[in-house]
Amino acid sequence: PSWAATKTVDNVSGSRWCVEECRLRERTVESQRPVEETARAYERALIEDGWQPWKVTRCPEQPAKGDYTCWRRDELTLDLWVREPTCVPPPVDGEPAPTVLATPPAAQECTGSLVSVKVRNAIDDERTRPQPSTDPSLTGEDPFPTLSEDPLGEPTPSPS
């Protein structure tokens, strides 16, 4: 809906043919509604467009406040992060806004939510690759032990 996508900012990087670096598309928008309502609207739109929720271990890759979900469709992955807006009070008399305020005067006007969407090729998303195991039982013996000679001149493997 129109209330869920105001003040859109797009960034695109990389190659669509994945030459050196695959394409990464990022979009940040402001929504006029709260986090929960905005997240549900985006999730409905994604499902209607053929995206499937993607339950992956590193979604999100770092703890994030708000509603963070991951999605897959065809050869693409998508990260959707809906959170509280970062509100900055408006400038006063042409002076820049202070960076830290105990109680910002514009706090009452700060509503809605902030939405970030990242879309990338699945082959370039490290979460689609096999992850190394951290199981200590898989370390085992050294396949190339150091050889030393015994008193009779015969090579013998050294203990591991």
What phi and psi values does residue 40 have, to the nearest 5 degrees? -65, -40
Locus of tokens 């406040």 = 65
pLDDT in tens, 97-131: 555 544 444 445 788 999 999 999 999 998 987 76
Q: How far is CA 133 from the centre of its chain?
A: 22
Is the pTM higher than 0.75? Answer: no
Q: Which of 27-31, 40-44, 59-63 has the lowest mean pLDDT?
A: 59-63
Q: Which pLDDT value is given to residue 57?
A: 87
Q: Are 158 and 150 in contact (CB under 8 A)?
A: no
Task: Please give the sequence-ordered ranges of beta strands (E in DSSP) within 14-150, or none if there are none.
Answer: 24-31, 52-53, 67-73, 76-83, 113-121, 147-149
Residue 37 phi/psi, 5-degree rounding, is -65, -40
Q: Distance between the two ends of the chain, CA-based, in angstroms?
A: 65
Q: Where are the beta strands (DSSP E) in the chain?
A: 6-13, 24-31, 52-53, 67-73, 76-83, 113-121, 147-149, 155-157
pLDDT over 70 for what percent of the chain?
A: 68
User: What's the CATH number of domain 1-89+104-124, 1.20.1070, 1.20.58, 3.30.310, 3.30.450?
Assistant: 3.30.310
